[in-house]
């Protein structure tokens, strides 16, 4: 973890996948990304501890807060990382 933390690059923040993608589990609950889904960290909205995809119909989540944690250094370290590979080419 210390290595990831020291390799963090602020420039990668604009390209992390949680800024443009959502993850939805088999029951329809929404997460900011698949990492958060696997860690059991649901998207939070309007004080609700988790949100169902049906609750987002007609909503715009652009600009909403993203649930983050130490695991996020895996996306922001070095060249950055996402489901599409490195953030920098």
What is the footprint of ligand SF4 within residues 11-70 (CB under 6 A)?
Answer: 16-18, 32-33, 35-36, 66, 68
Query: Which has the closest alpha carbon to 64: 81, 48, 46, 50?
Result: 46
Nearer to ligand SF4, 61 or 66 (CB): 66
Query: Which has the closest alpha carbon to 33: 79, 84, 86, 78?
Result: 84
For residue 77, state whether it binds ligand SF4 (rule: CB under 6 A): no
Residue 6, SS3? helix
Nearer to ligand SF4, 41 or 56 (CB): 41
List the one residue from 22, 43, 51, 75 that touches ligand SF4 (CB under 6 A).
75
Query: Which has the closest alpha carbon to 50: 63, 62, 67?
Result: 67
Q: Which residues pair with 77 in a beta bridge?
A: 8
Binding region for ligand SF4 (CB under 6 A): 16-18, 32-33, 35-36, 66, 68, 71-72, 75
């Amino acid at each position: 973890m210390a290595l990831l933390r020291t390799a963090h690059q602020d420039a990668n923040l604009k390209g992390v996948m949680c800024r443009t993608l959502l993850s939805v589990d088999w029951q329809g609950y929404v997460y900011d990304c698949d990492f958060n889904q696997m860690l059991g960290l649901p998207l939070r909205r309007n004080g609700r501890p988790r949100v169902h995809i049906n609750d987002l119909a007609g909503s715009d989540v652009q600009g909403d807060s993203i649930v983050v944690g130490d695991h996020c250094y895996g996306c922001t370290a070095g060249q950055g990382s996402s489901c599409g590979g490195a953030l920098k080419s």
